[in-house]
Structure formats: structure tokens, C-alpha cells
Chains A and B, each alone.
Chain A
Amino acid sequence: MKIDIQDHMLVPKHEIMTEEEISDEFSDVDYEFKDLPKIKSHDPVVKAIGAEPGNVLRITRESQTAGEFVTYRIVED
């Protein structure tokens, strides 16, 4: 049986961002893309959603302090 690891309670929602979303979201920040936290291309979740190196993932965590928290990771080799 093959299970979907994205169902697991420890795994937050990962989404691949489109070019449009990226330019929207990062238009007013004072850091560069490469400074985002990384996620490896062989990460099981990256494989599950089919992201490729260079993609930016939007990660929506359930946070103990903020309720819901959105963060980003850039896929790298």
C-alpha cells in the first residue's frame, strides 16, 4: 500500500508558487530569492508535489502561536 505522506499531521501544506504569485509576494521585500530557506529536491514532499529546483514553495503551517503561518522555501539540488 502506498500512502500519501502529505496527510501526515507533521507535514504542513506545500504548494508550488506560480511566477505571478512570486512577483506579487516578493515585490516589496529587501532580500533575495537565494536567501530563502531551502528545501532539497530529493525531499519526499517535493517529489510528491512534483516541484523542481528553482521553484518556490508556499508552506502553510499550523502554528501554536499564530494559528496559521505562511512561509516559503526554495527548492535546490
Chain B
Amino acid sequence: MDDIEIKVRETINQLNEEENLNIDFPESYIEDLSKAYIANDLTDDELQKLIRKLKQAYDRAHVEAGEAVGTVAAQSVGEPGTQMTMRTFHYAGVTELNVTLGLPRLIEIVDARKDIATPTMDIYFDEDRRNDEEFVRTLANKIGKSTINDVLLDFNLNYGTQEVEAILDSKKIEEKRLERDEINAAISKAFKKAEINGDRIIVPVSKSDKSDSKFEIRELRLLADKVRDLQISGIKGIGKVIIRRDDVEWIIHTEGSNLKEILDMEGIDHVRTTTNNIHEIGEVLGIEAARQSIINEAQNTLSEQGLSVDVRHIMLVADIMTSEGIVKSIGRHGISGEKSSVLARAAFEETGKHLLHASIRGEVDDLTGIIENIIIGQPIPLGTGSVGVKMDYKKE
């Protein structure tokens, strides 16, 4: 295959030199040409002919200079958006996990929300461990949030002695693959006065100065809730985990997300493990990864609803959102709110505010954009309007 690709490249270079065709095909075209060359058993002349034809078609498909690509992208994403279900939940395949889908999710993506409604991670494992069920289950319980309540056998409030008595269930602990020492350490850290006797844990109410009996019962009950909700394992930010097996390997889905800590864990596939939180990806993996993630998330959201939008429109949106090195939203607080032209900003939202501030600061509008020129009734710099006439002073 590589030999053929080199041959195709050589033929293109030859055509470029001999006939000045100025061919600059993307990589995927070279691959397709090579495939066609093999599949149809082309002669060298036929290959040259094919390249010429492809060049014509490629030039025709090019976006013209001055084309309003942003407007076309907005329309192309906006129209299918009207057909989206307003509210949809549930994750495809895993019913227990709620994930925002449809229009609300699309809005989240283009608004570049920092706190998304349902952050979730897909955790994969490295080659040695993706089929090791025991390892996956142990890790899932390490990642997922467990509280004392999850491993209780019996739980009593002793009103007489003002103590909370919790009996742990060894079976449940084993099932969850938790470490006894870690549980005990978590308990002693949270409740200094706790007594631990094997499975039996007794936590007395810390004595306050007030000896009002009603007050003490209240405190005992508050303490009981605290004991029950004490977190004994899990990574910050992550709640429920779901273990799922697809055709070839085990995968963990989580409610909540903490990409940085998960990626640092042993046995995790740090190539494919991702989150749906774009800001988090930007922080941990950089702006280019965030760009790719915006494209993936937007495309998945659309295709899940059976809508197909050309990926180039989404790529344009992602390019604009990340061009400043940080993830910016489309709209008042992001791209549209930072346009240099006063008139363009005033035409978008909060007209009065922008005009007032501009007059206070003495802003100047160069009238280089579309909106400004429409407002004052001039030809707009778009399409045929984007070229002007310049005098040739030398021939005067």
C-alpha cells in the first residue's frame, strides 16, 4: 500500500511540475486514489486522468473565498436542532445511568458550561486487565462512592447511653472488595471517640454543655445520619459506578467525573478513557483535546437523535470556540460578546448597555464586519462584496 501511495504522490508531483496544476490533495484523497489504483488495476495514463478529474471535482467542491461559512454552519446545526426532542434522558445501553441528551446537551456544549448537568466517564482498562473481572470489580468499588450505609448489617440508636451502634456486614464488605483497615481508618478519622470492636462500632454523642434531653435526642439522630453517610471509599466527584461488559472487554461508566485522578490510576487505559466534561478535558489534556471533544460530543448528541449534520460545520464551531486557547462559549458571554465592533455587539443582545459603554469610553467602529455595514446601509464584505477596487498609481 505504501508503495502505491508513493507512486500516486510522485504522479501528482510530476503533473504539478509539468503542467503547473497546483494540486494539493488532503491525505485521505491520496489513500482513496491508491485504493482505486489497486481495485481497478489502472494504467499510469489512467491514473493521471483520474488525478486530473479529481482535481476538477476538488476545486469545484472548495468553499469560495468570501463565503459566509459561519452563517451556513449556524443554519445547518440550528435546523436539525428544531427537530430534537426537547427532553430526553437515559443512557443508550445502560438504563441505570442518567445522561443529558438531545437539545439540552447541545446547548450545554455550545454554551461551554462549566457545571454540566450529568458529568460521566467511560473508563477502559489496559490490555492485560480488560478481561480481568476481579480487578475491574475491585477498581470499580475503589472509584465509586461507598458509605457505611452500604455495608451495614444492623444499626441501632441507644437513647439511654447516647450512643450509635453500627454492625458491619463482612459479606457485604467482601462483596464490595473494601479493605477493613481503610474503613476503620475513615471511621476513626471522622469520629474521634468511636470504639471499634471488629464488626461492632460504637459512636457516642460528643457531650455538649447543654443537658436538655430533647436537644440530646436531636443530636443523637443527627449523629446517626452522619455515621450512615460517612464515605468509606471512592474518588472525589464520582458517585455511582456501573460495570458493563461489551463484546470484548469490561468498561466502567460513572456518575460524576474526575479525569485527572482516574488517569493516574494503575491499570487504566489512559488512551481511551474519557469524560463528557469538556472543560475538564481542556484542563487535563489541553485545548486541542477539548476541540476534538466538542466535535465528538456534538456529533454524538446529534446522531443519537437520528440527525446527520456535516462534521465540517461542527468543526468550524469547535475551531471558533477554542481559537483563543481556552474554551469559550458561543453567545453573549463568549464569542458574540467579544466582537470588536460596537454596532455588532449592540445588534446582538443588550443594545442599550453596549451603546452606553461605547459612548463613555469613546470607542471607534472600523466598519469591517457584516452587521455594522448592514446597519449603516453599505455593501457588506461578503461574497462579491469582499473585493474592492484599488488604483494603480504607477500608471498615472
Residues of A within 8 A of B (CB): 1-3, 5, 7-12, 14, 37-40, 43-46, 59, 61, 63-69, 73, 76
Contacts and interface: CB of A to CB of B under 8 A. Distances in A.
A49 to B, nearest CB: 10
Given A1-B265, A1-B266, A11 B27 contact: no
Contact of A66 (B26, B281, B289, B322): B26
A45 B287 CA distance: 8
Given A10-B281, A40-B326, A5 B271 contact: no
The CB with the most chain A CB atoms within 10 A, among B30, B265, B285, is that of B285
Given A40-B287, A67-B26, A68-B27, 14 more contacts: A5-B286, A9-B272, A10-B285, A10-B293, A11-B285, A11-B288, A37-B324, A39-B287, A39-B288, A45-B286, A65-B28, A67-B27, A69-B26, A69-B27
**Interface SS of A by simple majority:** mixed
Interface string B265-292: 1100011101000000101111111001
Interface in B236-265: 263-265
A66 B28 contact: yes
B216 interface: no
Contacts of B28: 63, 65-68
A3 B270 contact: yes
A12 to B, nearest CB: 5
A65 B312 contact: yes
B286 to A, nearest CB: 4
A59 B288 contact: yes
B227 to A, nearest CB: 34
Contacts of A37: 319, 322-325
**Interface SS of B by simple majority:** helix
B31 interface: yes
B311 interface: yes
Nearest to A37: B323
Given A3-B270, A8-B271, A44 B288 contact: no
Contact of B270 (A8, A45, A63, A68): A8
A23 B53 CA distance: 34
Contacts of B289: 8, 10-11, 45
Contacts of B30: 67
A14 B286 CA distance: 11
The CB with the most chain B CB atoms within 10 A, among A10, A14, A37, A45, is that of A10
Interface in B11-55: 26-31
Interface in B283-309: 283-289, 292-293
Contacts of B322: 37
10 contacts: A5-B286, A7-B271, A9-B274, A39-B286, A40-B325, A40-B326, A44-B283, A65-B315, A67-B31, A69-B26
The CB with the most chain B CB atoms within 10 A, among A14, A40, A59, is that of A40
Contacts of B319: 37
Interface residues of B, number: 33
A20 to B, nearest CB: 22
Nearest to B31: A67
B26 A44 contact: no
A5 B266 contact: no
A69 B289 CA distance: 15
B286 A3 contact: no
Contact of A9 (B31, B271, B311): B271
Nearest to B289: A10
The CB with the most chain B CB atoms within 10 A, among A5, A8, A63, A73, is that of A8
B336 to A, nearest CB: 18
Nearest to B288: A12
A38 B266 CA distance: 34
A35 B270 CA distance: 34
A25 B10 CA distance: 22
B26 A12 contact: no
